[in-house]
Amino acid sequence: MFDKTVPKMTWGDIMKATDNFSINNIIGSEMTGTMYKATLLDGALLMVKRLQNSHQTKTEFEADMTALGSLKHPNLVPLLGYCIIKKERFLVYKYMPNGNLYDRLHPSDDAEPSVLGWPLRLRIAIRIANVLMWLEQNRIHGKVSSKSILLDHDFEPRLYELGLARIMNLSQAHFSTFARGQIGDLGFLVPEYSNVHAFGTVLLELITGQKPLQMNSASENFKGSLVEWVHQLSRTSSDDLYSVIDKSLLEEGSTDELFQFLSVACSCVSSVPKERPTMCRVYGLLKAIGEGHNFSENMGMVTFEVTCE
């Protein structure tokens, strides 16, 4: 374990904590493996990811784990440790009680209503833009989608899935598929992998409340993605484009902020790659929108800010 506050775990401990990897403890499944809720004997909660396939040697895997375990940022899901048993690999993360952003934005019929008002959505966007900028500076790539953004007890967003493309020995083609999202996230696909474009889709989800592929507000004849829908409306009139904003957000009265936010999102998903802003620029624009909310002081993010060159 990388975190000394968490006791070392054996294979038996993991089996007990996950109730032998019971389907009742599954948090989510992806190309890289399945995430389980793990309950320790003292009642503490963790998340354990059972990797699907990793062809790395034990030495290679341990080296990558040490590198990932050393990454510290307030908006990363902490990797607490790992376990190796024969050919299987397990990652241990801090538990995120409020699930992922996707499920919070698009709750199922039997789920509790979303509590994501405008200030919280704006804060989430600023926080994730900050960590993406920091990762970009450190040349670290991760999967960017609303499903890879988890929410802690205070609804602070935490990005995870870092470095798993390398650990899983994915080819460049497979990495592109992995990094852009899995089934249900196909609205993030672009001809070339781009963190900015993928994050722009997340921004569109936040501002519209619509899923990447299923738009309740679109016409029945429309079969494209959320990005394509926004592109289509932007070619008609500004009134049509602004109609995509989640009506529950318009009721909160932050019209100027909403329109500025939508403009940033649209620039990120531009169909012309060279017209997209840098991640550093995106962070600066979002931070400016949120200046009146004093978000930056909440978690000491200034320590992790990067100067745009």
Q: What's the pLDDT band for 160 if we cut at 50, 70, 90?
A: confident
Please state the rounded mean pLDDT for residues 203-213.
93
- Which pLDDT score, from 0 to 100, does residue 83 have? 87
Of 141-145, 149-153, 175-179, highest mean pLDDT: 149-153
Give the tens place of pLDDT for each residue, 39-60.
998 898 999 999 877 677 888 8
180: helix, coil or strand?
Answer: helix
**Selected residue with higher pLDDT from 113 and 3:** 3
Q: How many CB atoms lie within 10 A of CB 101?
A: 26
pLDDT of res. 196: 93
What is the reported pLDDT for 206? Answer: 97
Domain 11-94: assigned CATH number: 3.30.200.20
Q: Which amino acid is at 140?
A: I
Within the chain, strands assigned E span 26-30, 33-39, 45-51, 79-85, 88-94, 149-151, 157-159
Give me the mean pLDDT over the 5-27 stretch: 89
The SS3 assignment for 283 reads: helix
Domain 101-304 in CATH: superfamily? Transferase(Phosphotransferase) domain 1 (1.10.510.10)
Domain ranges of the chain: 11-94, 101-304
Q: Please say if the pLDDT value at position 280 is more than 60.
A: yes
pTM, two decimal places: 0.84
- When pLDDT is averaged across residues 72-82 and rounded to a whole number, the result is 89
